Amino acid sequence: MRSKKLKVLWLTGIACNGNAHSFLNYPYLAQFMDRFEFLYHPIIESKYTLVDIINQDLECDILLIEGAISIEYKKDTTSIYDIIQKYSSKAQKIVTVGTCASFGGIFRDSGYLGASGLHFDRDIELDDFKNIKSKTISISGCPIHPEVLVNTLYSIREDIKIALDKFLRPKEFFAYTVHNGCTRNEYFEYKIDNHNFGEREGCMFYEHGCQAPYTHGSCNKILWNEVNSKTRVGLQCMGCSEPSFPKSNLFNTKKNMGIPEELPLGVGKRTYLTLAGITKAFNIKRLETRLFND
């Protein structure tokens, strides 16, 4: 176990700072700060300023990158591209924090200054920064789950091997779909949709655009603020950890002749139609009524 604090540098590209704020919701932040030291963070009081980061040549153990990257953007004489080039060679590990840094996100879709993720433009692999890909880990999400980020950083600290998927995301947190662990799965199985947001009953896949069956993430396994998740409070998953985020018409399920255009991962159309036909034979009054009738 390492005794010294790891030196962490948090850089911000084209971003809204949502991930930096989400990180502050980690419930054990004080203990975290006993083991990690921020050379620079856009919100937390840090040892150095951004000007220091640019002008000095500091030692850095972990480089965190939030926000989309643009090779076209130049501010003064130094760009985020230049700073990443400078410190990525020093860092033991590089972590893209959020979907914008991982895949481009909403800024990529806006076409703003050719923005993309560090290694991916949506799901297309990029050549820029290819030399540092072997030490990069992607934590996607809009925003990231603070516990996923922190647990990844602890794994780096303790030299624990981290198995990654094809988008460099830790399988420990992204091998599942958000649908896995959803408390509404019984409604999903019997095709009972929820027709009002915020209600306890019903699934939101068939009518309300829930992306959980094809979104990789642990939102229903590692609860937000140790309490809740979108689907638990009656809001559909928006697929924010996927390269395709953001999609249009997020509150509606696109269909072709009554069949969802995008089926759950691993489910073929013929299988879906067979299961749907069987499901129609069921009439479960318990699932058709409100949980609290009084």
pLDDT in tens, 144-153: 999 999 999 9
CA–CA distance, 98 with 203 (Å, rounded to integer):
27
CA–CA distance, 71 with 74 (Å, rounded to integer):
8
Q: Do 6-173 and 176-294 have matching folds?
A: no
Say how many residues make up the chain: 294
pLDDT in tens, 175-218: 999 999 999 999 998 888 877 888 889 999 999 999 999 999 99
Give residue 75's pLDDT: 54
Strands 124-125 and 93-97, sheet pairing: unpaired
Q: The whole model's pTM is what?
A: 0.91
Locate the domains of the chain by residue range.
Answer: 6-173, 176-294
- Structure-block tokens of residue 28: 């054990």
Percent of the chain with pLDDT over 70: 97
CA–CA distance, 213 with 140 (Å, rounded to integer):
17
pLDDT in tens, 41-64: 999 989 999 999 999 999 999 999
Higher pLDDT, 114 or 223: 223
Give residue 103's pLDDT: 97
CATH number of 6-173: 3.40.50.700
Tell me the average pLDDT across 93-104. 98
CA–CA distance, 93 with 50 (Å, rounded to integer):
20
CA–CA distance, 220 with 182 (Å, rounded to integer):
6
The CATH homologous superfamily to which domain 176-294 belongs is: Cytochrome-c3 hydrogenase, C-terminal domain (4.10.480.10)
pLDDT in tens, 232-284: 999 999 999 999 999 888 888 988 877 888 888 888 888 887 877 787 777 78
